[in-house]
Amino acid sequence: MNETTGLPHGAPAPIPATTTPRRARRWDPLRHRAVNFCFGRLFGAVAKTLCEPGQLPARGIHRVLICRPNHRLGNAVLISSLLAEVEALYPGAEIDLVSGGDAAQSLFADRFQVRRVFSLPRKVARHLWSTIVLLRQLRRDSYDLAIDACNGSQSGRLLLAIVKARFKLGFPDASTPAGSAWQGWSCPDHLGQRSVFLLREAYAGKVERDCIPLNLRLSEAERQQAGQALDAVFHASHRHAATRPVIGIFANATGAKRYGEEWWTRFMTALLLRQPDLLIVDVVAEHGRTQLGGNFDSYYTRDLRRLAAVIANMDGFISADCGVMHLATASGTPTLGLFSVTCSKKYGPYGPANAAIETSDISAADVAAIVSDWLNVAVLTEPAAIDGIDASQPLSSQQRSSELA
């Protein structure tokens, strides 16, 4: 049985609330400067000990620590590709994971090679003693490899300084020595691929396969139970999903990334005019209120793996840029992300059946037209046609005919 530190065993992980206080964002630059002032020398000392490209041995790595102390659901899901890469490069290793909040516990605690998930509290100042206990526990252990998995994360770099490891791996920054081989190094645009690329650059062996996609490794039992739950939802409303494509919609997101209910009404009206056979499932956010007007069958859960398993039984999924979008991508269901303010190249769902749309300068009806084209290729046709989608590039109204033809 894998251990989980910081949360009650077996507690379901709720979908994190999708609001970020503006006051917290406003104080971020000041907080970063304060941390740099207090720990700048420590960051510089850690930078001198980081593993150089090609120095990480292909054998002898048995105890691995991955540090990603962030409470957001999306960042927890995005770490699954690095977790899978470590498992592939070192199949005999045991992995500890440091995360923020409880999302990683729910998603990864039962993974076979994962020994423990350390869950740092979201508000460290309010849980100072439990944080100290957790850090002392980390300090007592020794690792063969410790990875700071996020570029520019001060908390990840502090954890790297605290833990004892033969090899420490992190992204180059201002503290990186001038003579380091990391100088001038460039990493992929997508956040889910960066830490994988970092590990491969440091690895002394050869790796020729593509980046492992996001994957939660849902069990067959999870998928079957979720499929039965979804069937029950349709049965209760006397709908039949046997011959109709089931499309999930998640209408919530954080702050400026959120689309209003009027926008969703216009979008759904236009989409169903083009695709009248779609069977829509309104995936309700953690606050429990529908944002699609209550006109569709709905599903609600605060358990992340249960939600992923339900999405895995759908034919397609549409969401604004948020953690649930990444969860849908990791479930294996073709996913389309809607981006209005954030960078789709950095955060968009990637994989052969996934795509992103930049919506800032087009109407809801135009977005629906692009979505309809995507559905025709990624969901409503044979799998071989999916290879024609370049998910690394956002779709737009000007290019949809060439990207999706």
Identify whether the C-beta of residue 357 lies closer than 8 Å to the C-beta of residue 404: no
pLDDT at 81: 95
Q: For 54-113, list the strands marked E by DSSP.
A: 63-68, 94-100
Q: Which helix (H) or strand (E) holds 233?
A: helix 220-236
For the whole model, what pTM was predicted? 0.84
pLDDT at 236: 79
pLDDT at 8: 35
What would you report as the CA-atom Rg of the chain, rounded to the nearest whole angstrom?
Answer: 22
pLDDT at 7: 34
**pLDDT tens sequence across 313-338:** 999 999 999 999 999 999 999 999 99
The CATH homologous superfamily to which domain 3-202 belongs is Glycogen Phosphorylase B; (3.40.50.2000)
The CATH homologous superfamily to which domain 220-403 belongs is Glycogen Phosphorylase B; (3.40.50.2000)
More confident: 49 or 69? 69
More confident: 98 or 239? 98
Which residues are 318's β-sheet partners?
Answer: 249, 336
The amino acid present at 248, given as its one-letter code, is G
The percent of residues in the chain predicted with pLDDT above 90, rounded, is: 56
Kindly indicate the confidence band of residue 42, based on its pLDDT and cuts at 50, 70 and 90: low
DSSP labels, 239-296: ---SSS-EEEEE---SGGGPPPHHHHHHHHHHHHHH-TT-EEEEE--TT---SSTT-S
Kindly indicate the confidence band of residue 129, based on its pLDDT and cuts at 50, 70 and 90: confident
Residues of the chain with CATH 3.40.50.2000: 3-202, 220-403
In the predicted model, is pLDDT for residue 398 greater than 60?
A: no
Identify whether the C-beta of residue 323 lies closer than 8 Å to the C-beta of residue 16: yes
Kindly indicate the confidence band of residue 356, based on its pLDDT and cuts at 50, 70 and 90: very high
pLDDT at 278: 95
**pLDDT tens sequence across 275-312:** 999 999 999 999 999 999 999 999 999 999 999 999 99
pLDDT at 147: 95
Mean pLDDT to the nearest integer, 137-152 = 90
Identify whether the C-beta of residue 284 lies closer than 8 Å to the C-beta of residue 298: yes
Q: What's the mean pLDDT when you consider all of the chain?
A: 84
Q: Which helix (H) or strand (E) holds 168?
A: strand 164-169
Task: Find the range with the poorest average confidence among 13-27, 34-48, 155-169, 294-308.
Answer: 13-27
